[in-house]
């Protein structure tokens, strides 16, 4: 039986417990660090953890997902405004998942917006940060959100799948045949399935 099947079936409780503990801790840390009124947020949180592979020792390889929903009235995001939220999401997730020893492929920070019109779907865009860059950001207090943005934009090779991704369409991990979202939270029950379909709407 595959790791993903074991996790979904509850046959690997220790691994799933560590993932869920890390998600809960990251969600609490994010809630404490972000003022939704300051950023015009309707909802936000650590909304899911996707298991995308199995490591050499059988450990789950994960993608934790932070999601910020800015509401249907927002047609286009100010890219300058998202990076403080990226920084907050990365810091909250890195600390929690590193503490629990969960193997992370990269961290997803998703932004949902738009979809006000009858035939307009909600858009979803993401920033993806690999663990080495996340650790550098968290460890160095002089490495601020502006510096994080600079590095991500410089290292982004236009591949929306491989981190770092400076601004790409959201991945639909729940639709992949070799991946599954093993934990979700109320804010984003849709975050797990936010596929980012470009102009046709993301989520």
SS3 66: strand
What range does the domain containing 89 cover?
Answer: 3-200
pLDDT tens-digit profile of 52-97? 888 888 889 999 999 999 988 887 888 899 999 999 999 999 999 9
Geometric angle at alpha carbon 163, from 89 and 66, rounded to 5°: 25
pLDDT given for residue 144 in this prediction = 95
Task: Please count the helices (runs of H) and the strands (runs of E) in the chain.
Answer: 6, 7
Going by pLDDT thresholds of 50, 70 and 90, the confidence category of residue 12 is: low
When divided into structural domains, the chain yields a total of 1
Geometric angle at alpha carbon 102, from 179 and 82, rounded to 5°: 75
48: pLDDT strictly greater than 50: yes
Bigger pLDDT: 100 vs 14: 100
Residue corresponding to tokens 């990226």: 86
pLDDT given for residue 4 in this prediction = 62
Q: What is the pTM of this model?
A: 0.85
pLDDT tens-digit profile of 162-199? 999 999 999 888 776 666 777 767 554 344 445 333 33
Token readout for 103 is 């193997």
């Amino acid at each position: 039986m595959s790791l993903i099947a074991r996790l979904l079936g509850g046959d690997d409780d220790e691994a799933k417990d560590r993932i869920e503990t890390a998600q809960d801790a990251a969600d609490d840390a994010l809630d404490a660090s972000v003022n939704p009124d300051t950023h015009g947020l309707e909802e936000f949180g650590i909304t899911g953890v996707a298991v995308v592979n199995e490591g050499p020792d059988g450990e789950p390889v994960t993608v934790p997902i932070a999601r910020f929903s800015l509401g249907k009235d927002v047609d286009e995001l100010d890219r300058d405004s998202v990076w403080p939220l990226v920084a907050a999401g990365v810091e909250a997730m890195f600390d929690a998942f590193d503490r629990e020893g969960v193997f992370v492929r990269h961290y997803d920070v998703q932004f949902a917006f738009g979809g006000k019109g009858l035939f307009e779907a909600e858009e979803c865009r993401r920033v993806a940060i690999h663990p080495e860059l996340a650790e550098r950001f968290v460890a160095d207090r002089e490495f601020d959100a502006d510096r994080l943005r600079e590095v991500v934009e410089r290292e982004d090779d236009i591949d929306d799948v491989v981190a770092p991704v400076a601004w790409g369409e959201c991945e639909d991990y729940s639709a992949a045949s070799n991946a599954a979202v093993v934990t979700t939270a109320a804010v984003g029950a849709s975050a797990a399935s936010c596929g980012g379909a470009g102009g046709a709407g993301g989520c």
